[in-house]
């Protein structure tokens, strides 16, 4: 799958070739710097997929250093519920609101499962 940042890098290389033919500058180092800056800016964000109980996907793009509470709040706003009504799980581990995507081990394209809190859980019948 091609990266979303590939076309700008190709554009820079094409401009570099035009400039080399006219000998106006020596851009190979500049091209590398521009490509590295683009990679840095694209790596500042992580795309995360929130999957609800009905298998509906909600895609969010967050900064790697942002606490997950902002993501959780945004998801709850779209669902019109309070934050404490959902549990957020990644690979079976519960995510805490104060964690960042880096601290939680989340990478680009990872899926976070969302479940509503279950109250109770056991119906016991006693008969004598």
For residue 14, the surrounding DSSP H or E stretch is helix 6-21
Extract the residue ranges of the chain whose pLDDT is less than 50. 1-40
Give residue 118's pLDDT: 76
pLDDT number for residue 116 = 87
pLDDT at position 117 is 80
Give the model's pLDDT for residue 109: 93
**Structure confidence at residue 123 (pLDDT):** 62
pLDDT of residue 5: 45
Per-residue pLDDT, 99 = 94
The predicted pLDDT at position 59 comes to: 94
- CA 102 from chain centre, in angstroms, equals 10
**Amino acid 124: pLDDT:** 62
Least Cα distance to 85 among 98, 75, 99, 70 occurs for: 75
Residue 61 confidence (pLDDT): 93
Q: Summarize the chain as % helix, strand, coil (round to 5).
A: 40, 20, 40
Structure tokens at 87: 């549990």
Does the global pTM surpass 0.85? no
């Amino acid at each position: 799958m091609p990266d979303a940042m590939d076309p700008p890098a190709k554009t820079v290389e094409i401009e570099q070739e035009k400039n080399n033919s006219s000998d106006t500058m020596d851009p190979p180092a500049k091209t590398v710097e521009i490509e590295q800056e683009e990679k840095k800016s694209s790596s500042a964000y992580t795309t995360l997929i929130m999957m609800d109980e009905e298998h509906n996907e909600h895609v969010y793009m967050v900064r790697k250093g942002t606490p997950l509470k902002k993501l959780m709040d945004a998801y709850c706003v779209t669902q019109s519920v309070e934050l404490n009504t959902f549990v957020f799980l990644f690979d079976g581990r519960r995510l805490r609101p104060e964690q960042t995507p880096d601290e939680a081990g989340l990478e680009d394209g990872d899926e976070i499962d969302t479940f509503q809190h279950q109250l109770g859980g056991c119906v016991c019948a006693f008969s004598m």
